[in-house]
Structure 1
Amino acid sequence: MEKSFMEAMDFRHACKIFDETKKVSDEDLAYIIEAGRKSPSSFGMEPWKFLVITNEELKAKIRPYCWDQPQITTCSHLIIVLAAIEEVKVESGLVKKKLGRKGFPEDKLEFYVGIYGSHLKDVLSSDDNIYSWTARQTYIALGNMMTGAAARGIDTCPIEGFEKENVEKVLEIDTTKYQVSVILPIGYRIEPQSTFVREPVENIVEYIK
């Protein structure tokens, strides 16, 4: 039975080692990816791509550049979340194409493309700035995939501890088009969940009336 949202939130934890004998089904994998695909993004650009790796040799090549964390090779599927670079540039033509999905007339579409370029002038001024912007958005998709996985009783562990350039070299990524943002192993826990600890609400929320 699929868990409710809060049940999924209570279930989720950063799984440190996965049961290598258990594999996530194609149906559940599709559900998790769909949670990422349907996530919101600035200007609706969806500036991400998901590489889903099951090749054990490739996972083994990546692991040394992820602080040798066992999640990389024990997981069922390794999702590499990429942040888009080239496709969010106005000159790529993809910005107009994506904005055009809403069916705007040509004059209104050109207006919105102009607004996009104007508002993001500084962001679009360099690939480093673009990466900073698009990588932050990938975390929206990341969070939704993690919660979606938890709803199906599937474990995850978001990983920021990796050598970005080396992982990109192993994966032969054209970094003018995409760059690695975060890594998400998924699978099933082999150890009991650790105690769920969070700060009390009163310590993190301030109401301003």
Structure 2
Amino acid sequence: MHGSIMKQQLSELFHRRYACHAFEPGRAVAGADLEFILEAGRLSPSSFGLEHWKFLVVQSPELKQALQAACFQQQQVGSAGAVIVILAKLAELQPDSSYVRKLMEREYPAEQRAQALDNYRSFHAATDVRAWSVSQCHIAAANMMLAATAVGLDSCAIGGFLPDQVKQILDIDPAQYEVALILPVGHCAEKPHEKRRLPLAELVEYR
């Protein structure tokens, strides 16, 4: 019975989540709710367990307006109660970095660690690390948007932005991080429309 209730609640959250394009300006996000959303991101899964993300929480009206300009003037950025800028780690993902070694020690028993590091080194050399790190951050973003819905807030995943401008506004070192996604969060000022998605029959193929 408990499992059925959880399944129903989760389904309701998926159906209720809405990409808000206009937030109630000046309405703040409660600190406890913001922390809950950030915790959902922190607890997200990641490739090799490397937790590719860093979260910058922007609440300053001036910075939000500057970010809005760097996001092609999408008004939800400037009007949101808080804007979470999700950064994808770059330099720390180097195979011999202290960061990778620390997390590998946490993830793998001593007898497996050397092989895991060798596997990671080969993977890193053959991979577009920037794109890979950004894609991992999108996993965290999805969980954060669902968490926002669970506490009665709305969000909107912003992938349309000028990365160099965002980095300049927030003083982000481009060697250390890439901007993965910008996530405004707050109280929506518009009425959500009915969820519109393609049916499973058009999306799923069983083999």
TM-score range, shorter chain: over 0.9
- 1:181 has 2:180 as partner: yes
Q: Is there any run of 5+ residues in structure 2 with no aligned partner, and where? A: 1-5
Distance 2:53 2:174 in 1: 13
Structure 1 position 103, deviation (Å): 6.4
Letter in 2 for 1:59: K
Listed one character per residue, the Cα deviations across residues 124-181 of structure 1 (whole Å, up to 9, x for unaligned) are xxxxx21111001111001000011111111000001111111111111111111111
> Aligned Cα RMSD in Å?
1.6
SS at match of 2:96: helix
Cα 1:108/1:204, change in 2 over 3 Å: closer
- 1:11 has 2:16 as partner: yes
Equivalence map 1:41-80=2 (5 Å): 41-80=46-85
Structure 2 equivalent of residue 28 of structure 1: 33
Quick one: percent identity of the two aligned structures?
36
SS at match of 1:4: helix
- 1:117 has 2:116 as partner: no
Distance 1:50 1:131 in 2: 17
Letter in 2 for 1:198: R
Structure 2 equivalent of residue 164 of structure 1: 163
* Structure 1 stretches of at least 4 aligned residues deviating more than 6 Å after TM superposition: none
**Does the Cα contact within 8 Å between 2:67 and 2:166 map onto a contact in 1?**
yes
Structure 2 equivalent of residue 126 of structure 1: none
Count matched residues: 201
Structure 1 equivalent of residue 3 of structure 2: none
**Does the Cα contact within 8 Å between 2:90 and 2:133 map onto a contact in 1?**
yes
Q: Is there any run of 5+ residues in structure 1 with no aligned partner, and where? A: 124-128
Cα 1:31/1:171, change in 2 over 3 Å: same
Structure 1 position 110, deviation (Å): 2.4
Distance 1:190 1:48 in 2: 29
- TM-score under structure 2 length normalisation: 0.92
Pairing partner for 1:82 from 76, 80, 87: 87
Distance 1:135 1:119 in 2: 16
Distance 1:109 1:68 in 2: 47
Structure 1 position 109, deviation (Å): 2.1
Structure 1 position 60, deviation (Å): 1.2
**Does the Cα contact within 8 Å between 1:4 and 1:151 map onto a contact in 2?**
no
* Stretch deviating more after TM superposition (184-193 or 86-95): 86-95
Structure 1 position 118, deviation (Å): 1.8
Structure 1 equivalent of residue 104 of structure 2: 99
